[in-house]
């Protein structure tokens, strides 16, 4: 495992291009595009203000930079550096901006969710979509980029509009039986749309592409409901994480619950492997000798977050650290707030927000808990390798954690000073990983998939 | 008179003397008489009033007192003190005999009274103590009663309090329920109000939004614009098309195409799955048929009509199914047939399995009845074996622990020793351990042997003693025989009984004697044994037993040679004894053998 040098970054804006060739990152008002293999700067664009949002177009030809404060979007072309495009939303303001899947349209959501403006880069045409709903996830594109589902709110009722992305024609428009729609998400096959209600009510509605209601699912009533939703990449399962600390899997045939995964703080099943991160006290004498003396001197050994750690397999009847949520506050820290299927749909990684230090990995084939990783610090984010079942986790410390069915490893990010990893994103090939800190980022190059198994055996934090 | 009294009744002599004194001196013990007087005579005599205060009888009033006494006595039913007057004029004469009889009677009465009094007193005492006891019991019981009363009161109080509490709690619960109801109502009303408000606000918000939208849109906002250098081509390279009804229809078409594709894909998957399942079902059916066919005869023979019919049915079905490849047909046509046949077969299989189960259970029961003894024996043997093994293992563990402790104890004292110990190779250690265990074993054996030797020595002493006695008796016998050669048989019997009585202790000298007879063999035997022991078995007890056994056999042979009816008894005893020793010895003999195996 190798690490690149550290580059500057702001607002955690660092993204690999979809084709995997480039890496774009923002530093204040500058947009830097690098070559992924050499990390040399290919292009440097200067925006009008500090960039707040940055996004690659699907064909990796354009980069969108949004400056919400000024209601501006600037688009840059990679092929033609001199080409520029500036979209000003004017007095309507701007709160969100994104690419359409074809990479030729930009969808801007104005302030107060007055409308969604669809700007085309090909023609002068501008389309407006009125009444978009201000919600958690009100817009969703199908995986193939053909259709867009948009949550709308008119006359105190929720609606969903399905648009054809090629010409922004309204295909279907239907009301949903929700109190307060919170999100929409397409199944990866693009034929089923999951719509869920806000956390006040546990309700999932499943619509076909043509607007037919396929099924309604509600696990319970009178309690805080859905917190997160994720489709399995095979479209076979819909995982619903809720405030009761459970994940429910719906199957795609009957849309009934296949199983539910509880997240108890006490793990007693001996088949479950519990990896526990423990601080590794620096070995006296021998440990120092193996390191280069200069580095050993430079490393701040006093910092607890910087100290090395390793995983230990905990003996199984074990209880995890729990957080007592404040029941009288809004958005209590409880329930399953993070859900992610591995790309091969074999595993599901979850985090229960009142056990923030633990990542739960479920075996979807056997429908049971497979592994629990208990970290020293609360898990900030995790992401699956797009190519294989390999999970990268960060906790805001200077370490990155990798799990695969073969085992797990804690890797310290080298470098002077502290490098708290706040977010991470995988390269599409799964060979490298961008680790994003508050002001810096670096790349972590993993061994090719052949010798991954060997790499997991040993721990190597050196550059 | 006094003498006579003493002779007749010595117990009363003292009293009679007293009385005699009293009569001679005409003095009476005032107190007793007085009391008697008081007790006995209800009517006070005016004549004798003065004598009450001095004495009853004085020189002057003998006559009166006699007459008084006579009177008194006659009233009490005694015979008169005076002789029967011969004539009216004649003066009454005092009848001494009557007086004496009266006195005696009085004395007897007195004694009886005294006895009675004593009895009464003791009884009184007893009753008093009983009374005391009862009183104390009563007091105790009273206390208890009081205590229980208090307890009852306390409990009643508590009960009352609890009831009070309960009532309060009930009240509270009711209040809470009311509260809950109220709150629920409030919540419901709030919710409706909230929803209403929300809707209102949302409408207002929407209105505002609309207005804002109009404002934003209507004002020709120059700022709302896209500034592009030049428009780029579409990603697919095509030109954008106009929006017409055609495009709409095309979009619809496309959507349905996508949906259709999806459904087709899913149908294909389901078909595949179905095919798989059908295959499995078919295979199962086939296997069932093949499984059931050999057993077809048995159920038929059992004249189970229905199953037979079903089986024939099944056969037909199977034939049909196998003849026509119906699996490729759509499910609906085949389904019923298939499921029916499968169900039937499954039923048959189930009944068959149940039958088998019943049979098995029956067989098991019978088998248990038949082979109960054997199985138990086996079981016991097995358990014995296992127990032995466990014991051996325990011993081994113990020795190993000891060794470890010893090692630790020897090793933990010094750094140098630990270093030295570290210097040892593992193999060497292992070897040492083995040697140590061997040595221990040897030591144990030696100990055992020594014990046996001391025992032997003791026995030898006893034997010698016996032998001496025997010799003495023998000599005596010989001496006697020299004088009389009449009864060799009886002598023989006697001789036997002299040293082989009937107890075990007496038997031992015999054995030792036999041993004593051939000391070279034992002396030769023991070294051989020890040399063996160093290798494997500590066989000294078995050796002993062997010797005793041989001795006994010799002994018995001797006894057989000298056939006498009396001999049988001791012989039997001896045999019993030997068998005992055998049983005792054989166990420890087996144990070390096994332990050696384990080692």
Question: What are the chain B neighbours of A86 within 8 Å (beta carbons)?
Answer: 226-228
Q: Do B229 and A119 touch (CB under 8 A)?
A: no
Q: Which of residues 63-102 of A touch B (CB under 8 A)?
A: 77, 82-92, 102
The 3-state secondary structure of B217-237, one letter per residue? HHCCCCCCEEEECCCCCCCCC
Q: Given this model, what pLDDT does residue B325 score?
A: 52
> How close is the nearest chain A Cα to the Cα of B245, in Å?
11
Q: Supply the pLDDT for residue B349.
A: 82
A122–B202 C-beta distance less than 8 A = no
Q: Are strands A368-374 and A358-363 parallel, antiparallel or unpaired?
A: antiparallel
CB of A331 within 8 A of CB of A218?
no
Residues whose CB is less than 8 angstroms from the CB of residue B421 and which lie 6 or more positions away in sequence, other chains included? B411
- Within 8 A by CB and 6+ apart from B34, the residues are B52
Quick one: average pLDDT of B43-52?
A: 47
pLDDT at B405 over 70: yes
Please state the rounded mean pLDDT for residues B460-474.
Answer: 89
Give the strand pairing for A105-109 and A115-120. Answer: antiparallel
- Choose, out of A63, A104, A180, the residue to mutate when testing the contact with B (most B CBs < 10 Å): A104
- The residue in chain B having the minimum alpha-carbon distance to the alpha carbon of residue A119 is B226
- Give the pLDDT band of residue A247 (cuts 50, 70, 90): very high
Q: What are A168-226's pLDDT values in tens digits?
A: 888 899 999 998 899 999 999 889 999 999 988 899 999 999 889 999 999 988 788 99
| Nearest alpha-carbon partner for A168 in A135, A134, A125, A212 | A125
Lowest mean pLDDT among A373-377, A454-458, B105-109, B347-351: A454-458
Tell me how far apart the terminal alpha carbons of chain A are, to the nearest angstrom: 8
Q: What is the pLDDT of residue A57?
A: 93
Provide the pLDDT for residue B32.
Answer: 43
* B258 to A87: CB separation less than 8 angstroms, yes or no: no
Comparing B64-78, B325-339, B478-492, B563-577, which segment has the lowest mean pLDDT? Answer: B563-577
pLDDT at A259 over 50: yes
The string over B492-515, giving b where at least 16 C-beta atoms fall within 10 Å of a residue's C-beta and e elsewhere, is ebeebeebbeeeeebbbbbbbbbb
Close Cβ partners of A279 (under 8 Å, ≥ 6 residues apart) = A304, A307, A308, A309, A376
Residue with the larger pLDDT of the pair B597 and B292: B292
Query: Of the segments A60-74, B299-313, B533-547, which one has the largest average pLDDT value?
Result: A60-74
**Which of A48, A72, A88 should be substituted to probe chain B, the one whose Cβ sees the most B Cβ atoms within 10 Å?**
A88
pLDDT digits (tens, 9 = 90+) for B201-241: 888 888 888 888 787 776 666 667 777 777 777 666 666 56
Torsion, Cα B377 B381 B384 B389, to 10 degrees, reads -160
Span A288-292, average pLDDT: 43
Cα–Cα distance for residue pair A299/A162, rounded to 1 Å: 55
**pLDDT value, residue B226:** 77
Confirm if A110 and A73 have CB atoms less than 8 A apart.
Answer: no
Comparing A232-236, A263-267, A285-289, B291-295, the range with the smallest average pLDDT is A285-289
Residue in B213, B241, B262 closest to A114 by CB: B213
Q: How near does any CA of chain B get to the CA of A74, in Å?
A: 9
Percent of chain A at pLDDT > 90 equals 49
State the pLDDT confidence band at B78, using cuts at 50, 70 and 90: confident
User: Distance (Å, rounded) from C-alpha A185 to C-alpha A138?
Assistant: 9
Fill in the DSSP letter of residue A144: T
Across the range B422-434, mean pLDDT stands at 74
| CB proximity list for B595: less than 8 A, separation 6 or greater | B392, B395, B396
pLDDT surpasses 60 at B322: no
Average pLDDT over residues B552-573: 42
Mean pLDDT across the stretch B284-300? 67
Strand partners, B155: none
pLDDT of residue B187: 86
Burial class (CB in 10 A: 0-12, 13-18, 19+), A311: buried
Residue B545 pLDDT level (bands cut at 50, 70, 90): very low
Q: What is the DSSP letter of A283?
A: P
Q: Quickly list DSSP for B122-155.
A: HHHHHHHHHHHHHHHHHHHHHHHHHHHHHHHHHH
Give the pLDDT confidence of B109-135 residue by residue, as tens digits: 889 989 999 999 899 999 999 999 999
Q: Which of A117-131, A347-361, B427-441 has the highest mean pLDDT?
A: A347-361
Four-residue CA torsion sign, B151, B154, B156, B159: negative
What are the structure tokens assigned to B472, written together? Answer: 């003495």
Of A77, A104, A169, the CB nearest to B243: A169
Handedness of CA A265, A268, A273, A277 (dihedral sign): positive
- Cα angle: A81, vertex A84, A88; to 5 degrees: 155
Q: Is the model's pTM score more than 0.80?
A: no
User: In this model, does residue A98 exceed pLDDT 90?
Assistant: yes
User: A130 CB near a chain B CB, below 8 Å?
Assistant: yes
Interval A306-355: pLDDT, tens? 567 888 888 888 888 888 887 778 888 889 999 999 999 999 999 999 99
**For residue B244, what pLDDT band results from cuts at 50, 70 and 90?**
low
At B8-27, the pLDDT tens digits run: 444 444 444 444 444 444 44
Question: Does residue B268 register a pLDDT over 60?
Answer: yes
Residues whose CB falls within 8 Å of the CB of residue A114, separated by 6 or more in sequence, listed in order: A92, A130, B209, B212, B213, B216
Q: Do A122 and B231 touch (CB under 8 A)?
A: yes
**Considering only alpha carbons, which residue of chain A is nearest residue B201?**
A156
Q: Select from A157, A120, A116 the least CA-distant residue to A139.
A: A116
Cα distance between residue B62 and residue B68, in whole Å: 10
pLDDT per position as a tens digit, B363-377: 776 655 554 455 677
3-state secondary structure of A13: coil
Q: For residue range A372-409, list pLDDT tens digits in order.
A: 999 999 999 999 999 989 999 999 888 899 999 988 88
What are B's interface residues with A at a Cβ cutoff of 8 A?
198-199, 202-203, 206, 209, 212-213, 216, 219, 221-236, 240-241, 243, 247-248, 251-252, 254-256, 258-259, 262
Is A90 in contact with B258 (Cβ distance < 8 A)?
Answer: no
CB A397 within 8 A of CB A298: no
Query: Residue A6's CB: how many other CB atoms inside 10 A?
Result: 19
- For CA atoms A374, A376, A380, A383, give the dihedral sign: negative
What is the reported pLDDT for B328? 54
The residue ranking higher by pLDDT, A148 or B309, is A148
Q: Which of residues 152-191 of A touch B (CB under 8 A)?
A: 153-156, 164, 167, 169, 171, 189-191
Query: Is residue B496 pLDDT above 60, yes or no?
Result: no
Measure CA B494 to chain center. 55
Alpha-carbon separation of residue B144 from B137, B141, B152, B390 (angstroms): 10, 5, 12, 60
pLDDT at B577 (0 to 100): 41
Distances (CA, A) of A325 to A333, A373, B269, B472: 5, 21, 45, 106
Lowest pLDDT segment from A212-226, B187-201, B554-568: B554-568
Cβ-nearest to A121 among B209, B224, B228? B228
- Least confident range from A210-224, A449-463, B317-331, B357-371: namely A449-463
Q: How far apart are CA B123 and CA B131, in angstroms?
A: 11
Residues of B in contact with A90 (CB under 8 A): 216, 221-225
CB atoms A88 and B199 under 8 Å: no
Residues of B in contact with A167 (CB under 8 A): 240-241, 243, 247, 251
Mean pLDDT of chain A: 86
Q: DSSP of A416-459, one letter per residue?
A: SS-----EEEE-TTSSEEEEE-SSEEEEEEPPPGGGHHHHHHS-
Structure tokens at B184: 């629920």
Cβ neighbours for B103, distance < 8 A, ≥ 6 positions apart: B19
Task: Give the pLDDT of residue A194.
Answer: 95
Which residues from A are below 8 Å from B219, CB to CB? 91
pLDDT level of residue B320 (50, 70, 90 thresholds): very low
Residue A113, CA atoms < 13 Å, CB-side half-sphere = 17
- The residue of chain A with its CA nearest to that of B225 is A88
**Which of the given ranges, A277-286, A380-389, B93-102, has the highest pLDDT on average?**
A380-389
Phi/psi of residue B29, each to 5°? -65, 115
Confidence of residue A106 (pLDDT cuts 50, 70, 90): very high
pLDDT of residue A232: 93
Please give, one letter per residue, the 3-state secondary structure of A300-315.
Answer: CCCCCCCCCEEEEEEC
Tell me which chain B residue has its CA closest to the CA of residue A106. Answer: B226
pLDDT at A62 over 80: yes
Number of Cβ within 10 Å of residue B170's Cβ equals 10
Collect all residues of chain A within an 8 Å Cβ-Cβ radius of residue B258.
146, 190-191, 209
Largest CA distance in chain A: 73
Q: How far apart are CA A236 and CA A189, in angstroms?
A: 10
Candidates A169, A170, A188, A200: best to mutate against B (most CBs of B within 10 A) is A169
Q: Is the pLDDT of residue A438 over 70?
A: yes
Complex ipTM above 0.85?
no
pLDDT interval class at A162 (50, 70, 90): very high
What is the three-class DSSP state of A108?
A: strand
The model's confidence at residue B483, banded by pLDDT at 50, 70 and 90, is low
Which chain A residue lies closest to B222 (C-alpha atoms)?
A90
How many contacts, defined by CB atoms under 8 Å, are there between A and B?
A: 113
Mean predicted confidence (pLDDT) in A73-78 = 92
Question: How would you class B222 by CB atoms within 10 Å of its CB: exposed for 0-12, middle for 13-18, buried for 19 or more?
Answer: exposed
Q: Which residue has the higher pLDDT, B428 or A293?
A: B428
Question: What tokens does B187 get?
Answer: 């919540």
Residue with the bigger pLDDT between B523 and B404: it is: B404
User: Cα–Cα distance between A357 and A320 in angstroms, integer?
Assistant: 8
Residue A434 confidence (pLDDT): 93
How far apart (Å, rounded) are the C-alpha atoms in residues A197 and A183? 7
Residue B230: phi and psi, rounded to 5, are -155, 150
**C-alpha closest to that of B359 among B285, B299, B312, B447:** B299
Q: Say yes or no to pLDDT of A132 above 60.
A: yes
Phi, psi of A462 (to 5 degrees): -85, 155
By the 8 A CB rule, do A259 and A250 touch?
no
What is the model's pLDDT at position B171? 93
Share the mean pLDDT of chain B: 69
Provide, for chain A, the percentages of residues in helix, strand and coil under a 3-state DSSP scheme, each rounded to the nearest 5: 5, 45, 45
> What distance in Å separates the CA atoms of residue A67 and residue A96, rounded to the nearest whole number?
9
Nearest CA in chain B to A89: B224
Nearest residue, CB atoms, A122 vs list B225, B240, B259: B240
CA–CA distance, A215 with B238 (Å, rounded to integer): 38
């Amino acid at each position: 495992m190798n690490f690149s040098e550290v580059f500057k970054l702001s607002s955690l804006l660092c993204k690999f291009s979809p084709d995997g060739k480039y890496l774009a990152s923002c530093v204040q008002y500058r947009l830097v595009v690098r070559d992924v293999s050499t990390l040399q700067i290919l292009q440097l664009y200067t925006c009008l203000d500090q960039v707040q949002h940055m996004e690659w177009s699907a064909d990796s030809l354009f980069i969108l930079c949004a400056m919400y404060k000024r209601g501006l979007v600037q688009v840059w072309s990679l092929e033609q550096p001199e080409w520029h495009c500036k979209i000003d939303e004017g007095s309507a303001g701007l709160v969100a901006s994104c690419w359409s899947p074809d990479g030729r349209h930009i969808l801007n959501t104005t302030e107060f969710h007055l409308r969604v403006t669809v700007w085309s880069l090909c023609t002068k045409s501008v389309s407006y979509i009125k009444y978009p709903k201000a919600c958690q996830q009100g817009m969703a594109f199908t995986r193939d980029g053909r259709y867009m589902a948009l949550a709308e709110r008119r006359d105190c009722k929720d609606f969903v509009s399905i648009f054809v992305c090629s010409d922004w024609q309204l295909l279907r428009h239907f009301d949903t039986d929700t109190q307060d729609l919170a999100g929409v998400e397409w199944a990866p096959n693009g034929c089923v749309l999951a719509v869920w209600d806000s956390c006040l009510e546990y309700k999932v509605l499943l619509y076909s592409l043509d607007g037919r209601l396929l099924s309604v699912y509600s696990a319970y009533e009178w309690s805080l409901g859905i917190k997160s939703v994720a489709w399995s990449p095979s479209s076979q399962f819909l995982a619903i994480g809720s405030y009761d600390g459970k994940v429910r899997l719906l199957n795609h045939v009957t849309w009934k619950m296949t199983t539910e995964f509880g997240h108890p703080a006490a793990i007693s099943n001996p088949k479950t492997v519990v990896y526990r991160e423990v601080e590794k006290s620096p070995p006296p004498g021998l440990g120092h000798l193996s390191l280069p003396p200069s580095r050993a001197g430079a490393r701040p050994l006093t910092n607890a977050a910087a100290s090395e750690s390793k995983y230990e397999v905990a003996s199984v009847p074990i209880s995890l650290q729990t957080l007592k949520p404040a029941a009288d506050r809004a958005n209590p820290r409880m329930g399953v707030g993070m859900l992610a299927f591995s790309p091969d749909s074999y595993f599901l990684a979850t985090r229960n927000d009142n056990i923030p230090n633990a990542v739960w990995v479920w075996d979807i084939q056997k429908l049971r808990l497979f592994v629990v990783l208990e970290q020293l610090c609360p898990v900030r984010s995790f992401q699956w390798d797009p190519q294989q079942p390999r999970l990268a986790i960060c906790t805001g410390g200077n370490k990155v954690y990798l799990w695969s069915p073969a085992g797990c490893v804690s890797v310290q990010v080298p470098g002077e000073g502290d490098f708290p990893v706040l977010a991470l994103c995988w390269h599409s090939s799964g060979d490298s990983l961008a680790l994003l800190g508050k002001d810096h980022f670096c790349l972590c190059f993993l061994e090719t998939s052949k010798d991954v198994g060997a790499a997991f055996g040993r721990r190597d934090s050196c550059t | 008179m006094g003498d006579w009294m003493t002779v007749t009744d010595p117990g009363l002599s003292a009293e009679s003397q007293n009385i005699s004194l009293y009569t001679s001196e005409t003095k009476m013990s005032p107190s007793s008489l007085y009391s008697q007087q008081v007790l006995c005579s209800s009517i006070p005599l005016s004549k004798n009033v003065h004598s009450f205060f001095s004495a009853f009888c004085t020189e002057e009033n003998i006559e009166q007192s006699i007459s008084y006494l006579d009177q008194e006595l006659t009233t009490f039913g005694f015979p008169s003190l005076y002789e029967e007057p011969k004539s009216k004029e004649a003066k009454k004469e005092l009848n001494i005999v009557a007086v004496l009889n009266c006195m005696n009677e009085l004395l007897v009465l007195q004694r009886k009274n005294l006895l009675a009094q004593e009895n009464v007193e003791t009884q009184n005492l007893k009753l008093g103590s009983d009374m005391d006891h009862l009183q104390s019991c009563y007091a105790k019981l009273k206390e208890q009663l009081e205590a229980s009363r208090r307890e009852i009161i306390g409990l009643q109080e508590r009960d009352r309090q609890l009831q009070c509490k309960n009532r309060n709690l009930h009240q509270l619960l009711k209040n809470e329920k009311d509260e809950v109801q109220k709150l629920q109502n409030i919540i419901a009303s709030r919710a409706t109000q909230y929803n209403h408000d929300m809707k209102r606000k949302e409408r207002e918000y929407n209105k505002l939004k609309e207005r804002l939208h109009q404002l934003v849109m209507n004002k020709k906002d120059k700022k709302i614009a896209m500034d592009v250098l030049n428009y780029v081509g579409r990603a697919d390279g095509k030109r954008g098309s106009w929006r017409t009804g055609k495009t709409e229809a095309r979009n619809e078409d496309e959507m349905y195409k996508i949906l259709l594709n999806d459904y087709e894909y899913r149908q294909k998957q389901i078909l595949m799955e179905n095919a798989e399942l059908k295959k499995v079902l078919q295979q199962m059916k086939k296997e069932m048929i093949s499984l059931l066919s050999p057993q077809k005869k048995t159920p038929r023979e059992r004249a189970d009509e229905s199953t037979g019919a079903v089986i024939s049915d099944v056969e037909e079905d199977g034939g049909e199914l196998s003849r026509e490849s119906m699996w490729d047909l759509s499910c609906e046509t085949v389904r019923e047939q298939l499921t029916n046949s499968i169900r039937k077969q499954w039923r048959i299989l189930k009944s068959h399995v149940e039958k088998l189960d019943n049979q098995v259970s029956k067989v098991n029961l019978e088998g248990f009845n038949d082979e109960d003894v054997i199985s138990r024996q086996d079981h016991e043997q097995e358990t014995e074996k296992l127990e032995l093994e466990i014991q051996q293992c325990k011993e081994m563990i113990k020795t190993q622990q000891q060794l470890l402790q010893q090692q630790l104890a020897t090793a933990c004292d010094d750094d140098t020793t630990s270093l030295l110990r570290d210097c040892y190779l593992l193999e060497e250690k292992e070897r040492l351990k083995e040697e140590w265990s061997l040595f221990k074993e040897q030591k144990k054996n030696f100990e055992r042997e020594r014990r046996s030797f001391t025992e032997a020595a003791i026995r030898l002493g006893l034997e010698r003693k016996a032998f001496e006695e025997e010799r003495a008796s023998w000599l005596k016998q010989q001496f006697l025989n020299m004088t009389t050669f009449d009864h060799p048989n009886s002598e023989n019997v006697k001789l036997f009984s002299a040293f082989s009585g009937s107890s075990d202790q007496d038997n031992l000298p015999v054995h030792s004697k036999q041993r004593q007879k051939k000391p070279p063999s034992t002396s030769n035997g023991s070294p051989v044994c020890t040399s063996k022991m160093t290798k494997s078995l500590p066989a000294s007890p078995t050796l002993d037993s062997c010797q005793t056994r041989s001795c006994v056999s010799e002994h018995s042979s001797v006894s057989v040679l000298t056939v006498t009816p009396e001999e049988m008894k001791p012989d039997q005893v001896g045999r019993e004894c030997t068998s005992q020793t055998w049983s005792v010895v054989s166990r420890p003999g087996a144990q070390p053998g096994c332990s050696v195996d384990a080692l």
